[in-house]
Amino acid sequence: MANLTADRRNRMAQILIREGSVKVGEMAEHFGVSTETIRKDIIYLEEMGIAEKNYGGAIPKIGAVEKPLNEKEWVHAEEKAEIAAKAVSLIHKHDVILLDAGSTTSAIAKQLTIKQGLTIITNSLDAATLLSESEHQVFLCGGKIRRSSHALIGGWVLDRFKNIRADIAFLGSDGFKHQNGPTTVSYDESSVKAWMLHAAKRTYVVADSTKCTTTAQFSYADWQDVDGIITAGDHVDTLRTIVEDATQVIDAATKKPE
């Protein structure tokens, strides 16, 4: 029963983001449940920071709608550069690396030129483009292009990752608030992230610490499933409180000389 409820709420959140609003009556008919059940679902989505109740239904909460990738790249750019530098320091020569799509993983791609002899597998058009002139072996997994993140998604991508074994994976996230692990706004991207996680010996979530103040509707892992989260910013201590002892929180911030 719990799985059915979670699935319905995830699907409703997807409709909400895509359509810009949902109506209680329409959702009750769509999912074959009572209007009271849908109202409870909307309250849950509101608590998650995804929805905002209005007359007869709900609209997306401001900030819940995903920004285009080119806008994300300029937000907390300094923190993302610090996170990328720390991530790159964890890579060994000849490692096979998995990079998913996002502004922080693109920052990692920019810094990978300081390493040699790597094999990099990604579903990110931006990361592949940034690495195309490097001396690394770069593999781009084909699939359907998701316009807002420039990620390649779908069954073709998942089929590739079923047969891949990697040394380390770096995965982005859209938020952690009120969650037991990292989340993303896209169901399709959450599936790809989950496969990347299972394909790698070590997996790190990479995200600036403001992500502990936001959330998204699709979880792709629990904290104990990942080896750590590499972060930077003003909310690192809050993030440590959220994660507790489930995994390590690595503060990548550059230490200023005293």
In a domain, 194, yes or no: yes
- For residue 228, give the amino acid letter: G
Last residue of a domain, one of 37, 60, 83: 60
52 and 160 in a common domain = no
92 and 158 in a common domain = yes
Domain that includes residue 154, residue range = 69-251
Residue 41 to residue 3: CA distance in whole angstroms: 13
137 and 77 in a common domain = yes
- Tell me the pLDDT of the chain averaged across its residues: 87
In a domain, 154, yes or no: yes
Which CATH number fits the domain that encloses residue 126? 3.40.50.1360
39 and 163 in a common domain = no
Residue 232 to residue 85: CA distance in whole angstroms: 11
144 and 47 in a common domain = no
In a domain, 142, yes or no: yes
Dihedral pair phi/psi, residue 98, rounded to 5°: -110, 130
The predicted-structure confidence for 92-126, as pLDDT tens digits, reads as follows 999 999 999 999 999 999 999 888 899 999 999 99
200 and 237 in a common domain = yes
Is the separation of the CB atoms in 155 and 133 below 8 Å?
A: no
27 and 143 in a common domain = no
In a domain, 2, yes or no: yes
Tell me how far the alpha carbon of residue 187 is from its chain's centroid: 10
pTM of the full structure: 0.74
In a domain, 76, yes or no: yes
In a domain, 257, yes or no: no
Q: Where are the alpha helices (DSSP H) in 32-124?
A: 35-47, 69-72, 77-89, 103-111
In a domain, 258, yes or no: no
DSSP state of 116: -
For the chain, how many structural domains are there in total?
Answer: 2
228 and 163 in a common domain = yes
- For residue 205, give the amino acid letter: V
Which CATH number fits the domain that encloses residue 45? 1.10.10.10
The predicted-structure confidence for 211-256, as pLDDT tens digits, reads as follows 888 877 788 999 999 999 999 988 889 889 988 889 999 999 865 4
25 and 136 in a common domain = no
The pLDDT assigned to 47 comes to: 80
109 and 23 in a common domain = no
Chain position carrying tokens 């029963």: 1
